[in-house]
Structure 1
Amino acid sequence: MQKTAQHILLSILIGVNLSACRSDTSDSDDTSAPTTETAFDAASVWATLRNDFDLFYAYRDDRGFDADAYLDRVGTLVSAAPDRATFRRQLHRATYAFTDPHLGFGPAEDGDFNIIPTSSDLQIDHRAGQYYVADVRSDSAAYEAGIRPGWILNTADERPIQDLAAAVFTDLIDTPSDAQLDYAGTLLANGRRVGDRSLVFLTPEGETQRLDLANPREQARAVMARPAIETQRIATPDGSMIAVIRINNRLGDNDLITGFDAAMAEVMEADGLILDLRNTPSGGNSEVGRSIMGHFTDRVRPFQIHTIPSLEREFTVPRRFVEQVTPRSPNFDPFRTVVLGGHWTGSMGEGIVIGMDALGVHSIASDMGDLLGAMSNFSFADQTITLSIPTEALFHVDGTPREDFVADQSLTSADSDENAGDPALEAALIYLRDQ
């Protein structure tokens, strides 16, 4: 369905503000394509869709490749699609080149890859032709099976991972970049929306490990059944008490605002505080994010910069603005606080990490979920095809793109290490002890 630019811009400016990453924890979007349809004009739908994509995708031109040439190639492929289901499937595969978990076409099908980072427990890093495990999500099927950072993924479902990763970009990219192969390897390691995984790894000791793993969507559902906030107190050898507040993927739940207020009131006597955002892969909203950060400042402070590239593209007039945090009671000393982030910190979780960093809180994190920007939703082909797309670009207050943020203490893996330890938590306790 063709939308006017004014209509969509209004929806962006009024209805979009750091919306959550698509959650993959329910089956409500398991909508199969119609088995029969008439007169589907793939070329016409693509022409409309391409115009909106070019105008509104905030990160279209900064993903490390020629977007115009790539989209021309995508258009040649999808314009020949015989039906809506094939068209949608080809389009969704084409989004992987942008390595952006916030970008995708629906409705989802059982055969689609799981949405990362929400329904994932392995992060893969492609180096020198090999697919290394960069991190393993804590409390996951992969972690319980003994998989650790440094292992090499060799096969998925009895096929070499190199062949499968190349097939993700067949007919679209002749020579995928390392970043694109990272992304493809992570998709393959975490499997499809339906079905378990059969993976073969090579350990650093040279041993082959064949493992059948549960679908990570099961863990995604289990996380949502846990308390939204978990609080822990850790007594240190020097007699200090450190409080840990861990949020379990509820940054889009407005009830978390009062829940976090209550949690803060209970830990005000702590000598130090660790805010653990390593289990927030589905993002959330800015109201929840600002309410959390407000407990760590005693005056109004900026936490994030927004730009809306479509306005400059359409009208040549840029729009750039700063979002601010206001103090919230009770207030805890930011210099006795550490914030943790990792590969399963997504969208608003990433926004809180960079915002806390801007407030002077010590940050410890690996690369995070890299969910780009703030999201909007579009529809096409009589509302039978949906597009989730970042329409705002987001930055640290120092101008660094959110996805390029490097923590005060940067880790390769934040959830687990080769010895099954908790590297981020251990680093935070050492930092607070030294303070």
Structure 2
Amino acid sequence: MKKRLLILLVAGIGLGLKPGPVAAQKPPLTRQQYQQDFDFFWNTIRTNYCYFASKQTDWEQVRARSRPQLDTLSSRRAFVRLLENSLAELYDNHAGLSTNRPDSRRLVPTGTDIWAEFVNGQAVVQAVRPGFGAERSGVRPGMVLTAVNGVDLNDALRPFLPTSQRGSDAAARNFALLQLLAGDHRTPRTWSLLVSGRALTAHPDEAGMALENISYSGRFEARRLGRVGYLKINNSLGDNGLIVPFDSALTALMDTQGLVLDLRETPSGGNTTVARAIMGRFIKAEAPYQRHELTREETQTGVRRIWLEIVAPRGPRYTAPVVVLVGRWTGSMGEGLAIGFDALQRAKVVGTEMARLHGGIYSYSLPHSGIGFNIPVERLSHVNGQPRESFRPPIYVDPKPGAASKAEVADPALEAALQVLRSKR
């Protein structure tokens, strides 16, 4: 009997059977399991999402519209799209899934290279991300977008507008515009623009889909600009491994007469451990840097829960003047650092509006499909009570409209930062 079993096993190998992977495959979800997953998703957001009060979203209507679709679901792929469409009704760039499809929209701002908003009915470019396709294809702040991939802008925008709203909201229209311009993970983008009345066609993905695999030479860059130190964080505020090399780089710059901390390439945010580690090198006593509010507790009990997060000093203290640079790709924890330095009165914040990502996010996982999702659960504010997403740098650098000329400063925000430090001498 044992010999016969061995022959069968060998025959199985010869036929290319691979029992390991086959055994690891999970059976497809049932319709009931999809419905249970969606109910968990919908109820978790209803109970915990902390920005409904500032939205026009009718969350009950989102469930009513999704229910008929759940009755016909037959694949994980279709379920992901249903969840994406539901989250889009919040028009919140800080709410998202842990998975995507090839035709899903890129993350805003992490996977984007352009920022535009509606001004007097026109879609006006506010900023372009240095070194990426939008900039390389000639797009500059002040230009007006008129079409995307050959489709008139208003028509191209329509699929991305929320459909379950109690009333109109300009923020929802701007959210849809950013989603449209972000593109998906497989389709090259073509934009039609106007600059000083002249037509311009831009192909930001002509050299390849560079936004799909963004890489950096290191966690940060450190150098000297004359007597001023310069430290730029390269989207690594969520990496605790940044702390030790950052400490070493800052210690090497202790003799400088001022420091520029550049947070303009931190779109993915990070964690408070890294942020507090950075701020702790610049203060001499414990102090609050950010205000938290857990709105869920007030909803459930009628009692507000608000607290301040404290930064403690650590390591050798850098005592010279500091400027923090921010922009549209300063996101989440990068924004927290900016308001923190401002609250601590330890740096001047210079630049433009930031990514305006709402609140502190919590992560959840659906019970059957295992799909993860993140939503803002804590409202975050400056210690003075100003919402983090509405913070504007006290020293504002307005992006220059139109195409750059050789006579213009290559980096106006950095030049403004250096001017601030020169005035402190």
TM-score by length of 2: 0.85
Cα distance in 2, alignment partners of residues 376 and 248 from structure 1: 23
Displacement of 1:390 in angstroms is 1.4
8 Å contact from structure 2 (residues 138, 202) kept in 1: no
For 1:188-219, what per-residue CA distance to the aligned partner results, in whole angstroms no more than 9, with x for missing partners?
11211223212222222423224252599624
In structure 1, the residue matched to 2:23 is none
Change (3 A) 1:174 1:316: closer
Displacement of 1:44 in angstroms is 5.1
Change (3 A) 1:125 1:52: same
8 Å contact from structure 1 (residues 200, 208) kept in 2: yes
Cα distance in 1, alignment partners of residues 52 and 152 from structure 2: 31
Cα distance in 1, alignment partners of residues 36 and 114 from structure 2: 39
Displacement of 1:106 in angstroms is 4.7
Larger Rg: 2
Change (3 A) 1:216 1:192: farther
Letter in 1 for 2:93: P
Size of the aligned set, in residue pairs, is 391
The reply on whether 1:337 has 2:322 as its aligned counterpart is: yes
Cα distance in 2, alignment partners of residues 47 and 407 from structure 1: 41
The reply on whether 1:353 has 2:342 as its aligned counterpart is: no
8 Å contact from structure 1 (residues 135, 417) kept in 2: no
Equivalent in 82, 92, 99 of residue 100 of structure 1: 92
Cα distance in 1, alignment partners of residues 382 and 359 from structure 2: 12
Change (3 A) 1:61 1:113: same
In structure 2, the residue matched to 1:71 is 59
In structure 2, the residue matched to 1:373 is 359
RMSD: 2.6
Change (3 A) 1:383 1:310: farther
Cα distance in 2, alignment partners of residues 414 and 246 from structure 1: 23
Q: Which moved more, 1:125-134 or 1:201-210?
A: 201-210
The reply on whether 1:279 has 2:265 as its aligned counterpart is: yes
The reply on whether 1:169 has 2:155 as its aligned counterpart is: no
Letter in 2 for 1:209: T
In structure 2, the residue matched to 1:297 is 283
Displacement of 1:426 in angstroms is 1.5
Displacement of 1:321 in angstroms is 1.2
Percent identity between the two aligned chains: 31
Equivalent in 43, 49, 56 of residue 48 of structure 2: 56
Change (3 A) 1:427 1:321: same
Cα distance in 2, alignment partners of residues 297 and 216 from structure 1: 44
Letter in 2 for 1:287: T
Cα distance in 1, alignment partners of residues 101 and 59 from structure 2: 23
Cα distance in 2, alignment partners of residues 217 and 381 from structure 1: 34
SS at match of 2:31: coil
8 Å contact from structure 2 (residues 117, 177) kept in 1: yes
In structure 2, the residue matched to 1:323 is 309
Equivalent in 156, 163, 172 of residue 180 of structure 1: 172
For 1:358-391, what per-residue CA distance to the aligned partner results, in whole angstroms no more than 9, with x for missing partners?
1211111311112212211122351344321111
Equivalent in 390, 410, 414 of residue 396 of structure 2: 410
SS at match of 1:291: helix
